[in-house]
Amino acid sequence: MALDEKELVACCGSSKFGKEMAMASPFSSLQHALNTARDIWFNTVDVNGWLEAFDAHPQIGKSSSNHKSETSAQWSKGEQSTALATATSSSLQELLDWNARYKEKFGFVFLICASGRSTSEILVELKKRYPNRPIIEFEIAAQEQMKITELRLAKLFAAKAEAASAYDQHPVTLGKKAEDRVSIIGAHLTATSEALAGKTSESSARTRPPITTHVLDVSKGCPATGLDVRLEMWMGKQSRPSFDGNNVGGWALQGFSSTDKDGRSGQLMSIVDAVNPGIYRISFNTGKYCPDGFFPYISLVFEIRDTQKLEHFHVPLLLSPFSFTTYRGS
Which residues participate in catalysis according to the annotation?
57
* Contact yes or no for 250/241 (Cβ under 8 A): yes
> Going by C-beta distance under 8 Å and a sequence separation of 6 or more, which residues neighbour residue 289?
224, 226, 227, 228
Phi, psi angle pair for 301, to nearest 5°? -110, 130
Distance, CA of 239 to CA of 324 (rounded, Å): 29
HEC sequence for 115-170: CCCCHHHHHHHHHHHCCCCHHHHHHHHHHHHHHHHHHHHHHHHHHHHHHHHHHHHC
Tell me which H or E stretch contains 22: helix 15-24
Helix pair 47-55, 134-169: axis angle to 10 deg: 70
Q: In what order do the strands lie in the sheet with 323-326?
A: 222-223, 211-217, 313-320, 323-326
Q: How far is CA 175 from CA 16, 70, 113, 166, 181, in A?
A: 32, 18, 32, 10, 11
- At 122, the amino acid letter reads I
